[in-house]
Amino acid sequence: MPLEWLFGRKMTPEEMLRKNQRALTKAMRDLDRERTKMEQQEKKIIADIKKMAKMGQMDAVKVMAKDLVRTRRYVKKFIMMRAQIQAVSLKITTLKSQNAMAQAMKGVTRAMMNMNNQNAMAQAMKGVTRAMMNMNK
């Protein structure tokens, strides 16, 4: 391929699976990091709400309560996104193992065919030998 240097070489399916698996793992780590930040922010908001409630600033408490609900909703969304990414990752792993199994079965089948062919040749040689012996009698 003369243009390989320009476009890069074509990736094998195994390389593509590995690359995508790494991308999914990175995305899950990023989501976990964001979720942790949101949970810390949630704790801070709760502390601020308690502080404002003690001071009697109910308008600020209402705004912060809405922010708390929004933060909890986002935490739940991050958990759902991570679960979906994990499901895709599991599916890729399953496909990879099925492919490996198919390749192994392909090799076993080829080996069995070779053995059968050798067996058939041995039987044919025995038949030829018998025929030659019968002719010599």
Amino acid identity of residue 95, one-letter, is L
The residue with tokens 């308690």 is 50
Each residue's pLDDT, cut to its tens digit, for the chain (137 residues) gives 456 667 777 888 788 888 999 999 999 999 999 999 999 999 999 999 999 999 999 999 999 999 999 999 999 999 999 999 999 999 988 988 888 888 888 888 888 888 877 777 777 777 778 877 787 76
| pTM of this prediction exceeds 0.75 | no
**Nearest-CA neighbor of 81 among 22, 30, 40?**
30
pLDDT given for residue 118 in this prediction: 78
Amino acid identity of residue 131, one-letter, is A
Residue 135 CB-half CA count within 13 A: 6
